[in-house]
Amino acid sequence: MTAEAPVFPEEALTRDAYLGGRVTLLQPRAGYRAGVDPVLLAAAVPARPGERVLELGCGAGAALFCLGRRVGGLALNGVERQADYAELAWRNAEENGLSARIVTADLTALPPEIRGESFDHVLANPPYFDPEGRTRARDAGREAALAEETPLAAWISTGARRLAPGGRFTMIHRAERLPELLSAAAEHLGSLELQPLAPRAGRSARLVILRGRKGGRAAFRMHAPIVLHAGPRHEADGEDYAPAIRAVLREGAALDFGAGA
């Protein structure tokens, strides 16, 4: 993507720190703003220096650039259908001193430069919610990031096609979508691993991270839940993340699959 006049005016943007300030993101004040989910997704990608990475629906680049900061020497590529957010991702790559190719496109109609390549890792944080039966967000960008328009199966099939043999696909999603997630993934990927994320000890998982390998043959593994917050309830102002999660969110540590209790 080439530099052009910013789509978002400067006064409509904030500059937000992730990974304890290791990553800085320009984000719209009133649009979609990345929370902890893309940071957890990035921490779950088992990338190594020199590998090629593609994020589908990269938004302003939270997951892509958190991964690029944790693992040096990656070839970073992002696809984002909303041109204003793709422009932000390009600017955020510059802001963080990371080299990245950002392409404005829908994942169901990838351009030749992406379709003609294969990647060691594909990651995705798709919209979580059915657009029907919910109140729409006032901001169009936020609504597009939250409400599913492209079927979940299309995210998985597109990602799997872009993987090199032996490449890995990593996705974060809501736990209630797990049946659909596993069904779609089983058609295209093997060696599936599921990591549930529970808000607190003794509570049901609300999020899951699924990893699969192109051509993988290992049996399916479901790990014990990783607990995000310490204690049975939130009892004081400030953060109460469990130590391992605090290390992921503030220090750029990897998320250790299978580290749940």
Assign residue 75 the CATH number of its domain: 3.40.50.150
3-state secondary structure of 125: coil
Looking at residue 132, its pLDDT comes to: 52
Q: What pLDDT is stored for residue 198 in this prediction?
A: 97
pLDDT of residue 6: 54
Query: Which residues span the domain enclosing 55?
Result: 32-188
The sign of the torsion formed by the CA atoms of 182, 165, 74, 114 equals negative
Residue 202 lies in a domain: no
59 located within any domain: yes
74-83 pLDDT tens trace:
999 999 999 9
Q: Give pairs for 74-79: CB < 8 Å, separation 24+.
A: 74/47, 74/49, 74/50, 75/50, 75/51, 76/100, 76/101, 77/52, 77/53, 77/101, 77/102, 77/103, 77/114, 77/119, 78/54, 78/102, 78/103, 79/54, 79/55, 79/103, 79/105, 79/107, 79/110, 79/114
Residue 122 neighbours by CB under 8 Å, 6+ apart = 53, 54, 55, 56, 159, 160, 162, 163, 167, 168, 169, 170
Choose the weakest-confidence range: 61-65, 73-77, 127-131, 143-147: 143-147
pLDDT of residue 58: 97
The lowest-confidence range among 88-102, 137-151, 222-236 is 137-151
**What local confidence, expressed as pLDDT, does residue 231 receive?**
73
- Structure tokens given for 112: 């030749």
Taking residues 60-75, report their average pLDDT. Answer: 98
Which tens digit of pLDDT belongs to each residue from 196-254?
999 999 999 999 999 999 999 999 999 999 999 987 666 665 688 999 999 999 999 99
Taking the CA atoms of residue 196, residue 155, residue 92 and residue 99 in that order, the dihedral angle to the nearest 10 degrees is: 100
Q: Is residue 169 part of a domain?
A: yes
For residue 7, what pLDDT band results from cuts at 50, 70 and 90? Answer: confident
**Does the pLDDT value for residue 121 go beyond 70?**
yes
Contact present, 254 and 248 (Cβ < 8 Å): yes
Predicted pLDDT of residue 5? 47
| C-alpha to C-alpha distances, 204 to 196, 227, 228, nearest whole angstrom | 9, 10, 12
Global pTM reads 0.89
Mean pLDDT of all residues in the chain? 90
112 within domain boundaries: yes
Q: Rounded to 5 degrees, what are φ and ψ at 168? A: -115, 140
Q: Is residue 3, in this structure, part of any structural domain at all? A: no
- Is the residue at 101 inside a domain? yes
Is residue 24 a part of any domain in this protein?
A: no
Tell me how many degrees the CA angle 207-56-39 measures, rounded to the nearest 5.
45
Q: Identify the residue with better confidence: 153 or 135.
A: 153
| Amino acid, single-letter form, for residue 226 | I
Residue 260 pLDDT exceeds 80: no
Question: How many separate domains does the chain show?
Answer: 1
Mean pLDDT of 148-165: 92
With respect to residue 223, please indicate whether it lies within any of the assigned structural domains.
no
